Chain A
Amino acid sequence: MTGSQGNAVLEVSDLTVRYGAAVALRGIDLVIGEQEAVAVLGPNGAGKTTLLRTISGLLKPAAGQIELDSHSMVGRPAYRIARAGFVHAPEGRSMIAPLTVTENLQLGAGRRARSDVAAGIDEMIELFPSLRARMGTKAGLLSGGEQQMVAIARALMAQPKVLAIDEPSMGLAPVVVDAVLEALRKVIDSGTSLLLAEQNARLALAVADRAYVLVHGEVVKSGNSDEFGDELIESYLT
């Protein structure tokens, strides 16, 4: 864990999101530095997914600012935010089921030079060796763990500045979760910043440098991961 907030890659200020009259997020401030891993923790319905969907442009904020590399992302369509470097692997993995693993990864390569795509796929196989034998398989036929690996690898193919993953451990066996976490550590070491939205606090804190705790759409606690003792986790997150 090498994080520092020195140079902010992503800066969210006073972000408010509404669903009709209901306020889903209120006054959220969040910063991610270069090569930093940040976890957004909270119980079900706290607003974690809403936060990621708003930063990635799928939802429009009612107020506040979102800056990626000091450029405002508010009002930009989601595909342009992805191209700018904030790539979001959503909850549920969102495989393009009729396409093979290779084709899913090629989709993620977006605007990378064609000559660079094969090298990128090789890097992803190195990151997730168990995918090697599954490259020609339709993504819809993979196990949940394999799909999660493809979702992360596909997002990484875009060479993002910030990789955002929603609930990466959901529904996965412990051994698969370990493999995913190990890969995420390598991703951070390679220079990509990470934003994890995760209900499983202990798991997220094992990867993240810092964490924010969301409850009912508000940040109730933030700090370095080592500041989150068992008692704190119990009080907010169970």
Chain B
Amino acid sequence: MQQTINGLASGSIYALLGLGVTLIWGVLHVLTFTHAQVLTWGAFGSLIAINRGYPVPVAILVGMAVAAGLSVLIDSTVLEMLRRRGASEYAFVVATIGLAFMLESILRNRTRARVEPYSRDGFPRGPIELLGQNVPKLQLAVLATSLIAMAGLAIWLNHTRAGRGMKAVAYSPETATLLGINPRFIYAVAYTVSGMLAALAGVFVAVSTASVSYSSGDRLLLTAFAVIILGGMGSVPGAVVGGLILGVIEVYATVHVSSKFSEVVAYLVILVVLLVRPSGLFGAKEATRV
């Protein structure tokens, strides 16, 4: 029970990450390598707010604003230039890898490569008894907040005008344009949402480890890719289920095999899914879904 909750809590963070990546893939067909850096910048944004004495909810919102702003900046500058030139998918991949290195380098220099302590003051502390088990309140808060964020995203996508517009652009930008929808606006919205989800994940990673550094997001990029490959590229439900499954597998691998083994779980998941079911759990053969 305890291990399952641990796994679901980590898995919900992975799901937040995977959702951001899958949203960008679904709408823009770009595999974005900047996502880990967006997460880290968001976490640093919240750290600055916390260190200046702002309450935790405000600090989280500051982190989300930083990450969303950074994401939109990336999209509206470099990626927009590539779109205008009709660049190939490879060009977008290479560009986002380059940007990721640049963003990491800026943070490394600004923080002098220090690991900064991330205060847990203001976050839920101590255990709570649940079904006869002592479960850390922080893990439950992470799990609950992540699930609320995911439910909010699902409602927004399925029941709002902007959500339908995003689905239309994801399916056919040309048809959407002919219906009066501005694809560039939708791209900016997708990057904003993706950045906010990454920042939320970044805050949860930082508070879980009580630290943040310029490289906090590095390992998580591969995890995010494993999540969307497991769930199905471009599938929102797939990212949620994929994230939760991956989190639980990792925790059980740590407990029953070794902590070293848990580090290769993401690689193994990518390999197994690509060999057995390349479209993932929820993916169609030609997955273009949001």
Binding site for B on A (CB under 8 A): 56-58, 77-80, 82-83, 87-90, 94, 96-99, 103, 106-108, 110-111, 114, 154-155, 158
Pairs across A and B, CB under 8 Å, 18 listed:
A56-B178, A57-B177, A58-B177, A58-B178, A77-B182, A78-B177, A80-B180, A82-B179, A82-B180, A90-B174, A94-B172, A94-B178, A97-B171, A99-B168, A106-B164, A107-B176, A110-B181, A155-B179
Chain A residues, Cβ within 8 Å of B176: 79, 96, 107
Q: How far is the CA of A74 from the CA of B92 in the complex (A)?
A: 30
Q: Would A107 and B171 count as touching, CB distance under 8 A?
A: no
Interchain CB contact under 8 A, A90 and B178: yes
What chain B residues lie within 8 Å of A89 (beta carbons)?
178
CB-defined interface of B132-172 with A at 8 Å, one 1/0 digit per residue?
Answer: 00000000000000000000000000000100110110011
Q: Which residues of A lie under 8 Å from residue B182 when comparing CB positions?
A: 77, 79
- Which interface residue of B164, B175, B179, B289 has the most chain A CB atoms within 10 A? B179
The smallest beta-carbon distance between A228 and chain B, in angstroms, is 29
Given A96-B168, A106-B161; A111-B180 close (CB under 8 Å): yes
Chain B at the A interface: SS class? helix
Partner of A99, one of B161, B167, B174, B180: B167
Q: Once the chains are docked, how many angstroms separate the CA of A114 from the CA of B161?
A: 9
What is the minimal beta-carbon distance from A50 to any residue of chain B, in angstroms?
Answer: 15
Instruction: List the A side residues contacting B181 at CB < 8 Å.
Output: 79, 107, 110
Q: How far is the CB of A28 from chain B (nearest CB, A)?
A: 20
User: Shortest Cβ distance from A60 into chain B, in angstroms?
Assistant: 13
Closest 10 CB pairs of A and B: A82-B180, A94-B175, A110-B180, A78-B177, A83-B180, A79-B182, A79-B177, A96-B171, A96-B168, A88-B178
Nearest chain A CB to B138's CB is how many angstroms away? 38
Q: Are A79 and B168 in contact (CB under 8 A)?
A: no
Interface pair B164/A90, CB less than 8 Å apart: no
Known contacts: A103-B164, A106-B164, A107-B165. The answer to whether A96 contacts B180 by CB under 8 A is no
Give the residue name and chain of the B residue nearest to A109 (CB): B161
Instruction: For B174, list chain A residues within 8 Å (CB).
Output: 58, 90, 94
Knowing A99-B164, A103-B164, say if A108 contacts B179 (CB, 8 Å).
yes
Whether the pair A158, B179 counts as a contact (CB closer than 8 A) is yes
* B7 interfacial contact with A, CB 8 Å: no
Of the listed residues B165, B168, B180, the one surrounded by the most CB atoms of chain A closer than 10 A to its CB is: B180
User: Given contacts A97-B171, A98-B289, is CB(A82)–CB(B178) below 8 Å?
Assistant: yes
Q: How large is the interface on B (under 10, 10 to 19, 20 to 34, 35 or more residues)?
A: 10 to 19
Taken together as a complex, chains A and B put the C-alpha atoms of A155 and B289 apart, in Å, by 23
B183: CB under 8 A from chain A? yes
Residues on A with C-beta less than 8 A from B168 are 96, 99, 107
Flag if B179 contacts A154 (CB, 8 Å): yes
CA distance A56 to B176 in the complex (A): 13
Closest to B169 in A: A96
Q: How far is the CB of B155 from chain A (nearest CB, A)?
A: 15
A97–B167 Cα gap in the complex (Å)? 10
- A107 vs B166: C-alpha distance in the bound complex, in angstroms? 10
Contacting A at CB under 8 A, from B116-130, are none
**Which residues of chain B from 159 to 209 have any CB-CB distance to chain A below 8 Å in the complex?**
161, 164-165, 167-168, 171-172, 174-183
**Chain B residues near A154 (CB, 8 Å)?**
179
The distance in angstroms between the C-alpha atoms of A83 and B177, with both chains bound, is 10
Q: For B175, list chain A residues within 8 Å (CB).
A: 90, 94, 96
How many angstroms between the C-alpha atoms of A110 and B178 in the bound complex? 11
10 new A-B contacts at CB < 8 Å, known A96-B171, A96-B172, A98-B167: A57-B177, A77-B182, A78-B178, A79-B177, A79-B180, A83-B180, A98-B171, A106-B161, A107-B165, A108-B179
Chain B residues within an 8 Å CB radius of A155: 179
Q: Decide if B164 touches A79 in the complex (CB within 8 Å).
A: no
Determine the distance from Cα of A58 to Cα of B161 in the docked complex, in whole angstroms.
23
| A110 pairs with B179, CB closer than 8 A | yes
For the complex, give the distance between the alpha carbons of A58 and B174 in Å: 8
Report how far A79 CA is from B180 CA in the complex, Å. Answer: 4
B contact residues around A88 at 8 Å (CB): 178
- Which of B174, B176, B177 has the most chain A CB atoms inside 10 A of its CB? B177
Q: How far is the CB of B202 from chain A (nearest CB, A)?
A: 31
Residues on the A chain within 8 Å of B164, using CB: 99, 103, 106-107
- Once the chains are docked, how many angstroms separate the CA of A47 from the CA of B177? 21
Interface pair A82/B177, CB less than 8 Å apart: yes
Residues from chain B with Cβ under 8 Å of A103 in the complex? 164
- Complex Cα spacing A57 to B182, Å: 13
Closest A residue, CB atoms, query B182: A79
